[in-house]
Amino acid sequence: MSLFPAFLKLKKRRCLVVGAGEIAWSKITSLLDAEAAVHVIATEARDEVHVLAAQGRIHLELRAYRPDDVAGNFLVIAATDEMAVNASVYRDAEERNILCNAVDDPPNCDFYFGSIVRRGDLQVVISTNGESPALAQRLRREIDALLPLDLGPWLKDLGQLRREVLQLYPAGDDRKRLLHTLAHREVCGSEHCPSRKLAFAARPAIEDQPAALNGQR
């Protein structure tokens, strides 16, 4: 069975993490990166988790997990050090059709975490479908060493330039070719950026411009 690859928008979605130790911490921070509304339930929490709670960035309840805790969540992560607790979190979520990952426990996962190389909005995520997390980690290191460190800011500028091109040029092969050309070039935010000049050199006449907004590829 192959896994369905997708990137979730979790902004403001209520997500529950059960457990507040080392593994839970890494899940909590990646949920916060996605601007999820993070709720944490754990009998004890490491200091960093207390700090996030004191800053109002997460909602923390220091107590043992109860079956009803999963209700109302979009996503649940079971990251306690008790396999049996993680498994019951999964069962409770499954009953309510809520997606759940019980860490390191494939039968009790609706989705797996990947190994991630990140540069701003660019994420290269590696999954081996659970066959070898060690291989996923090795490939992460190798890809990380290959990708320039400034890809994040470059991608921001490229994205801005692309939006401008989409507004100005009608959909079609010429626009597509231009966007592929730009993806190979240095791009910066400056109005004097050579790529920006290249992009606007062939700007269509004003009367052609409404066609640019017709949404075709």
Ligand X SMILES: C[C@@]1(CC(=O)O)C2=NC(=C\c3[nH]c(c(CCC(=O)O)c3CC(=O)O)Cc3[nH]c(c(CC(=O)O)c3CCC(=O)O)/C=C3\N/C(=C\2)[C@@H](CCC(=O)O)[C@]3(C)CC(=O)O)/[C@H]1CCC(=O)O
Q: What is the contact surface with ligand NAD in residues (CB under 6 A)? A: 18-24, 41-45, 64-65, 79-82, 85, 103-104
Q: Which is nearer to ligand NAD, 75 or 178 (CB)?
A: 75
Around Cβ 66, how many Cβ atoms within 10 Å?
11
With CB cut-offs between 5 and 8 Å by kind, which of ligand X, ligand NAD, none does residue 127 bind?
ligand X
Distance of alpha carbon 163 from alpha carbon 131, whole angstroms? 39
Provide, rounded to whole angstroms, the least separation between the CB of residue 217 and ligand X: 32
Q: Which is nearer to ligand NAD, 50 or 119 (CB)?
A: 50
With CB cut-offs between 5 and 8 Å by kind, which of ligand NAD, ligand X, none does residue 82 bind?
ligand NAD
In sequence order, which residues have a C-beta less than 8 Å from that of residue 152 and are 6 or more positions away?
118, 119, 120, 121, 122
Interface with ligand X (CB under 6 A), residue from 73, 86, 88, 101: 101
Residues 122-161 contacting ligand X, CB under 6 A? 127-130, 132-134, 136-137, 140
Verify binding: residue 113, ligand X, rule CB under 6 A. yes
3-state secondary structure of 91: helix
3-state secondary structure of 12: coil
Q: Which is nearer to ligand X, 31 or 161 (CB)?
A: 31
Question: In the chain, which ranges are continuous DSSP H helix?
Answer: 22-33, 47-54, 83-95, 133-146, 151-168, 173-182, 194-201
In sequence order, which residues have a C-beta less than 8 Å from that of residue 214 and are 6 or more positions away?
170, 171
With CB cut-offs between 5 and 8 Å by kind, which of ligand NAD, ligand X, none does residue 152 bind?
none
Q: Which is nearer to ligand NAD, 53 or 182 (CB)?
A: 53
Provide, rounded to whole angstroms, the least separation between the CB of residue 97 and ligand X: 19
Q: Which is nearer to ligand X, 99 or 155 (CB)?
A: 99
Query: Nearest-CA neighbor of 165 among 196, 205, 191, 190?
Result: 196
Structure-token pair, residue 212: 């640019």
Structure-token pair, residue 64: 């043992």
Interface with ligand X (CB under 6 A), residue from 38, 76, 98, 103: 103
Distance of alpha carbon 51 from alpha carbon 53, whole angstroms? 5
Q: Which is nearer to ligand NAD, 49 or 187 (CB)?
A: 49
Tell me which residues touch ligand X (CB under 6 A).
101, 103-104, 106, 109, 112-115, 127-130, 132-134, 136-137, 140
